[in-house]
Amino acid sequence: MANVQAVTDADFESEVLKHEGVSVVDFWATWCGPCRMVAPILDQLSAEYAGKVKVMKMDVDANPRTPAGFNVRSIPTMIFVKDGKVVDQVIGALPKAQLETYFKKHAA
């Protein structure tokens, strides 16, 4: 996960909400099988969209405040944030081609 950064409740505002441009936050947990399926896809997309989309991961077990604030009820959930505003959300594990449509849509 060389291209994907971890984000916490403590630095979510500075790393995501105050980031100019597009950020994707993957809400996940170590015990979540579908989350582990999505991880390498997000790593690939973060490399392909480097400089256009900032990809972050948040462990929901270690950071309960932020997921609750965004009404995350199941994982994996990915939110797309552009200039501090949530512009899209994906719930569940999607294949790379489907997930990439969201990256293309918001990286433009």
Q: Which one from 24, 35, 41, 42 is the annotated catalytic residue?
A: 35
Q: Which one from 16, 22, 32, 39 is the annotated catalytic residue?
A: 32
Q: Which of 47, 10, 11, 4 is nearest to 28 (CA)?
A: 4
Q: Sheet harboring 53-59: ordered strands across?
A: 5-6, 53-59, 22-28, 77-82, 85-91
Examine the residue annotation and report whether 32 is marked as an active-site residue of this protein.
Answer: yes
Examine the residue annotation and report whether 92 is marked as an active-site residue of this protein.
Answer: no
| Residues noted as catalytic | 32, 35
